[in-house]
Amino acid sequence: MHIFTTPMRFLLLFILSAFIASAQKYTEPDEMKTFNITVNYDDYTVKTQMLRDGEKVKTDNELAYLWYKSNKIIETKGGYDGRLLHGYYKTFYLNNQLKEQGEIKYGLKNKEWKYWYSNGMLKEVINWKNGRKNGTYILYNEFGKMMAKGNFKNDLLNGEFSTYDPLGNISDKKKYRNGTEVPPKIKKQRKKRSKKNKETKPEKESKKKKDETNTQPKDESQKSTGEKKKIGQKIKGWFKKKEKKDKPKEEPQPKTTTS
């Protein structure tokens, strides 16, 4: 005689498997790496996680570490003296609106962090990588209009950084390389040649030809006139010599005496 029917067996197997799965997921509090904490301040509340044990982490003097001690969350550059925050990080205004939200890895800000105004409008977006700004940065005003946008690399501005007016138009744009502003390239303007100076090669060649043709006749005419003068002088000289040769000598006339 069977005590359990087939449907009952399936039901018992399902309950048993669910119980085993839940038992595997459950972790004793003492074995957990982090646990949740809440810290209340006068104007906001922090909800975050911190390391359970006093795990020692090698610090960097250039980085800021978030840690917990005496019901306070403290941020110190180059070191810590308490339990490092590790896990999610959220803060809230007194009206329960989100103030900031991000992730912390062994005391250092990591991945995308968002910040809000008390009216719920997004204020700022910063990307982090192991405590340094890396990636896109955006700033908004209280009305949700973007005021600035840029990019960080190893905590330094890198690439284009633009600022906007209240209407959303770009009011200024600068370029950075490893935190240093890169001056804009000045385009060299070519000097415009005047029409008088601006001559093409064919025009220059034609001008030369004209000048040559104008100078040639003058030189030839000067030579020809000089030669003509010389020839004329020679001819005159010949005629003068002939006249001297052909002219008969006059016979001396006898002198007459009177008594």
Neighbours of 217 (CB within 10 A): 9
Q: Which of 21-30, 118-127, 214-223 has the lowest mean pLDDT?
A: 21-30
**What is the reported pLDDT for 52?**
82
Contacts of residue 37, Cβ cutoff 8 Å, sequence gap at least 6? 47, 48, 49, 50, 68
DSSP, collapsed to helix, strand or coil, labels residue 245 as: helix
**What is the reported pLDDT for 236?**
64
The structural domains of the chain, ordered by start, are 28-182 (3.90.930)
User: 155, exposed or middle or buried, with CB in 10 Å at 0-12, 13-18, 19+?
Assistant: middle
Residue 240's pLDDT band, with cuts at 50, 70 and 90, is low
pLDDT, tens digit (0-9, with 9 covering 90-100), for 30-55: 445 788 999 999 999 999 999 987 67
pLDDT, tens digit (0-9, with 9 covering 90-100), for 169-204: 999 999 999 999 998 888 777 766 655 555 555 665
Using DSSP bridges, classify how beta strands 108-116 and 132-140 pair: parallel, antiparallel or unpaired. Answer: unpaired
pTM above 0.85, yes or no: no
Average pLDDT over residues 219-240: 60
The number of helix segments (H) and strand segments (E) in the chain equals 2, 14
